[in-house]
Structure formats: C-alpha cells, structure tokens
A and B are shown apart, each in its own frame.
Chain A
C-alpha cells in the first residue's frame, strides 16, 4: 500500500532479458522493479512499488532538505593525507581518494555547512556513501566536529544525515578511530549548551559512524529499510554460523528495539525535521 496516496505515474514492466536503453530506466535494488528514471527523480528516488529508498548523493540530500540555494558549505579546504603510507594490495590511498573525488565531485565523504530548512537556520552535515563507503577518516571527523562546534558557537540546531557503510576508515588506521571520540566529545559540549541535534540515519549507517555521532541525536530519525548497526551482517553470520533473520539491522528493527525515534519516508523528512525544530524552540534564525 502506498503511504502517500496513489502514485501518479505508471510503472512499466519490462522483461529482464530485453536490453534497456542506458540512462532511461533503473532497476530497483530491492524488488527488482524497472522504474523510469524520471519517475524515480520525481519520487525523491524512492521505488514507487516497494518504497525502497535509493541512496542519495550529498548534493541530492542537500537539495531535498534545504531551502533553495540556502546551503553554504564551510570553505575549510580540508584534504586527506596518507599519514600511514598505507600499503594495500592494489592502488595507493591517495589514488583511491582521487578516484572518488572524480566520481562524486566532492573533496571528501562529508559535506557540512549552514543552511535554512523551511526558513529555520541550521547547521547541516551530510555524508556521501559513494565516497570510500562514506567512511570517516581524519577529514570527515574534523568536518563533522567543526560543524558541531559551529552549531554550538552560533546556538544553532544541528542536523547530520549519516550514510556510511564503512565506519572508521581503515586506510588512516587509529587516526580514523579517534574521530569517533572527537565528534562525540564535541556533541557533549553541544548537549551541555542545551542545543538540539537531530541525527538522520540513511542506508547504510554502520560501525564507527553509528557507534559515535550518528547514535547521539536528541531525536534519531531513519529512512525506511536502511541498514543500521554496529557490525556488518556478513561478519555476524560468519561469527555465529547462522543466517540472520529477515529485516535484521533495518530501520524498522531499530525502531522496534528502541534505538530510533521514528522511521520517516523521504517525502516527509523535511517537514518532519521542520516540525521537530519548531518544538525545540528559540532556534528560529533571524530573517535576513
């Protein structure tokens, strides 16, 4: 049953054997439905049949949640280095960074800045899970921390949209792990200043990101069916030698177990955030 009334578009079923023209259709990763790209875009990149939420890029996410061109990214110029001179099996870490910079048109896996959401001033951080699986190295940790500190210093509400399958970034070793402390400690100060932080969890939010700032919202919202947890499902299966139950570590599972406040459809996310910001009060930005 569609949550938001009858869809106004047609879903075209195409035999999977037929070749599809590139760029016109997308196959739903969850139900396998073939969806017109135009329809997908109009529907906030949510499958009209099964409501599967496709992963958004950082800029799509910002466009979804902020007013017009109100988002102003912090111009921090932060760039990752290769402090470990990480020796993996193939390709260097700087090469991988460059590859993902070209792919995503982002400098790093996080993008933070000031913005307005239904007129309200906020500090917004988003991660892009296409960039090294949205993993947190020194730069992502520093960007998120500065975003938190900016919100605290300017008495603004903070919203962070997480999407990280990778957690702490292996290629920066323990420097990555320490970003969990850095971001969490900054949130402790934000908390102490009695300012709101709303954490939005998207598919996937795992490991070091979920075990730090993403879990620390005053309110925690999740998009439907997002994979959320600490250890990845494959590692758990290998450890316990059994198959995981259907729906394990999905948003609805976390809602059931008390770790998210609400599961919110992408279409309703912006208005839900605006509604929550209204409740926390005293944070409405001055008209400029």
Chain B
C-alpha cells in the first residue's frame, strides 16, 4: 500500500524522498547539505507546478481514485470531535459501503453520511469498493430523515465508483432506492451540505448528493458514467477512457461552470492524500461557513431554494 504512487507523481515523490534523506544526513553534521537541499527544493517546487497545473482530465480521474486518498471515515475522524455510527436500513441489512451517524463538529451536532471505500484488501471487499447496494441508500435516507425529525443539519461525503451492479442489488430495487432518495432528500427541511471528495460515480453518487450547497474537492470527479463505461459504449474500447474523460467534462472546474456545483475546495499541493489533515481542515471550514450561510433560512425556504436550484439545471434552446 505504502508504495502506491501514480506515474506522474513518482518523480515528485522521489525527489521529496531524496531531500528528506539529505536532511537526515545534514542532522548528522558530517556533510554540508544546505545548498543542495535548497537547490532540490526549488526543483521540486518547479516540478510540482509543472505537473499539477496542467493535469489532464484522465490524470484527475486517477487522482480521484488514488489508493492513498482520504476516505469518508478519515475525514470524519479529522473534522469531528465525536462520531457515533448508526447501522442498518431496517429492512434487509447494513451496507458497509455507506456510513451514517451522529457527529459533533465545531460546537454543532449534525448527521454525517458518506460512501466508504476500503484500504486493505479485506476492507475493500467488506466495503464493496464503496459501491452501495439498495440497503446503503435506504440506510442513508433513514438517518437523513431522522436528522430532519430532530432538526439537525446533514453533511454528505460522496466517493463511489457507482451503485453496485449485481443480482441482489437489482432484486432489491437499486433503481427504486436511488429514485426514492432523490425525491425525499429534495424535500428534507434541514440544511444539507454535500462534498464530492473523490469519485462521484453517476446515480450511485447522486443518491446522496442532493443538497443546498454542493462542493467538489479540487481533484474530485463527478460523472454521468465512468470514463471506462463511456469508452466501451461509444468507442467500443475501454482503453479509450482518457478520451472519454476529456469528453465527459467531469472535472470540478467544468462542473462549476455548468452550475452543477456551488464551489471547489482547493486541495493541498499534490492532492488531498499528500496532506489529509489539511484537506480535512479545509472541508470543515467550508462546511461550517455554509451552515452559517444557510442558518437564516426557514425550513420551507431551504426546500424551496433547493428545488429551484436543481430545477434550473440543464442547457437547452427554447
């Protein structure tokens, strides 16, 4: 796990390691390394700038799926003072691909839900790679409706390749679960803040991504279909995923332009995984500010504005 880096990250990571080694040597006091460190640090700054200012959409897809990227429970740990996880949809089971619970953050209590990916092989399997079954969406809705009952705001952290494509998922109504969430969440009378932290995989992401303020992390993606899926349908070749990623306009900047999201949360240089604590701090700040902004609105006003916001989405000629 520790050695997983993307191709375009590797030269930077190697350079940083080299600098770190020199520092250690420097502390031993036998060699003069100060100048060399300064030279290499300048080089690293330049290299980072080169790589990260011109990321292609496909490189952003790779960053959004980075195996070291912070996941929902990592964010929760950083941003809350306390978190009590709740389990189960009350119909069928508990889906570990979605976590839900009660949390305290900056003196407020709120409900937090989110997709959860696994890091070790066994946890990946347990979390089903962050791909929920209907139970996950029903659990999320149950807990969100509880938030409404007790007047608590909701934070939803979105990071999934998509809703799970399987026999059981279809038997238990994957489509119905997603549809119901869209209808019910759109009228929940409490503030809802959504942050797309990694992969916003189509309907499987959208099912918990309806909110009053929707943000994307700088290197998150949000797409109607996976680039691989799009490539295999249109190009008849999944290997054309990078072209599909380009065509789908799935980056945070594109989606801000189309009015799909309300803002972008800048990530630490190199991405959230290079400094998860700082990434989480920025998420927390944005969430608290947004809750402050939404505070004056009555529940009816919140719902009216939310529906109006989504009703305006779309581009057409009349």
> Once the chains bind, are A187 and B183 in contact (CB under 8 Å)?
yes
Given contacts A174-B255, A188-B186, contact A168 B224 (CB under 8 A): yes
CA distance A71 to B243 in the complex (A): 43
One of A123-131, A204-212, A275-283 at the interface: A204-212
> Once the chains bind, are B176 and A259 in contact (CB under 8 Å)?
yes
Q: Mark A150-191, 1 if CB is under 8 A from B, else 0.
A: 000000000000000001111011111111111011111101
In-complex Cβ contact of A231 among B170, B240, B243, B250 (8 A): B170
> Once the chains bind, are B258 and A230 in contact (CB under 8 Å)?
no
Contacts of B258 in A (CB 8 A): 83, 173-175
Contacts of A210 in B (CB 8 A): 175, 179
- What is the chain B residue whose CB lies nearest that of A229? B170
Given contacts A211-B175, A214-B179, A216-B180, contact A173 B166 (CB under 8 A): no
One of A3-11, A98-106, A135-143 at the interface: A135-143
Contacts of B240 in A (CB 8 A): 89
Contacts of B210 in A (CB 8 A): 181, 185
> Once the chains bind, are B260 and A174 in contact (CB under 8 Å)?
yes
CA distance A259 to B210 in the complex (A): 24
Given contacts A77-B318, A170-B230, A248-B167, contact A178 B182 (CB under 8 A): no
Contacts of A213 in B (CB 8 A): 179
> Once the chains bind, are A80 and B167 in contact (CB under 8 Å)?
no
CA distance A145 to B175 in the complex (A): 19
Q: Mark B219-260, 1 if CB is under 8 A from A, else 0.
A: 000111100011001110000100100111110000100101
Given contacts A84-B249, A145-B311, A174-B255, contact A185 B186 (CB under 8 A): yes
Chain A interface residue count, Cβ-Cβ cutoff 8 angstroms: 63
Contacts of A51 in B (CB 8 A): none
> Once the chains bind, are B182 and A174 in contact (CB under 8 Å)?
no
> Once the chains bind, are A178 and B249 in contact (CB under 8 Å)?
no
Contacts of A13 in B (CB 8 A): none
A235 at the A/B interface (Cβ < 8 Å)?
A: yes
> Once the chains bind, are B314 and A230 in contact (CB under 8 Å)?
no
- A36 nearest CB across to chain B (Å): 36
A236 at the A/B interface (Cβ < 8 Å)?
A: yes
> Once the chains bind, are A168 and B202 in contact (CB under 8 Å)?
yes
Chain B interface residue count, Cβ-Cβ cutoff 8 angstroms: 54
In-complex Cβ contact of A86 among B187, B247, B314, B316 (8 A): B247
B39 at the A/B interface (Cβ < 8 Å)?
A: no
Contacts of A184 in B (CB 8 A): 179, 182-183, 186
Instruction: Identify whether the interface residues of A are mostly helix, strand, loop, or mixed.
Output: helix
Given contacts A79-B316, A178-B260, contact A188 B166 (CB under 8 A): no
Which of B182, B222, B224, B318 has the most chain A CB within a 10 Å cutoff?
A: B224
Contacts of B182 in A (CB 8 A): 180-181, 184-185, 211-212
> Once the chains bind, are A229 and B175 in contact (CB under 8 Å)?
yes
> Once the chains bind, are B247 and A87 in contact (CB under 8 Å)?
yes
Contacts of B165 in A (CB 8 A): 230-231, 235-236, 239-240
A78 at the A/B interface (Cβ < 8 Å)?
A: yes
> Once the chains bind, are A211 and B316 in contact (CB under 8 Å)?
no
> Once the chains bind, are A178 and B314 in contact (CB under 8 Å)?
yes
In-complex Cβ contact of B229 among A76, A177, A235 (8 A): A235
B307 at the A/B interface (Cβ < 8 Å)?
A: yes
B281 at the A/B interface (Cβ < 8 Å)?
A: no
Given contacts A180-B182, A259-B176, contact A236 B317 (CB under 8 A): no
> Once the chains bind, are B314 and A175 in contact (CB under 8 Å)?
yes
- A27 nearest CB across to chain B (Å): 26
> Once the chains bind, are B225 and A170 in contact (CB under 8 Å)?
yes
- A75 nearest CB across to chain B (Å): 11
A18 at the A/B interface (Cβ < 8 Å)?
A: no
Contacts of B247 in A (CB 8 A): 84, 86-88
Contacts of B317 in A (CB 8 A): 77-81
A202 at the A/B interface (Cβ < 8 Å)?
A: no
In-complex Cβ contact of B222 among A141, A174, A208, A231 (8 A): A174
CA distance A87 to B165 in the complex (A): 27
B8 at the A/B interface (Cβ < 8 Å)?
A: no
- A106 nearest CB across to chain B (Å): 15
> Once the chains bind, are A191 and B183 in contact (CB under 8 Å)?
yes
CA distance A111 to B296 in the complex (A): 41
User: Which 7 A-B residue pairs are closest in the complex by CB-CB distance?
Assistant: A138-B314, A231-B165, A215-B179, A184-B182, A185-B186, A83-B315, A210-B175
The contact sample of 6 A-B pairs, CB cut-off 8 A, is A169-B224, A174-B222, A179-B314, A185-B306, A188-B183, A230-B178
Binding site for A on B (CB under 8 A): 163, 165-167, 169-176, 178-180, 182-184, 186-187, 202-203, 206-207, 210, 222-225, 229-230, 233-235, 240, 243, 246-250, 255, 258, 260, 306-307, 310-311, 313-318
Given contacts A173-B223, A215-B178, 13 further A-B contacts (CB under 8 A): A78-B316, A142-B314, A170-B224, A170-B225, A175-B258, A178-B260, A181-B206, A181-B210, A188-B183, A211-B182, A229-B175, A230-B178, A239-B165
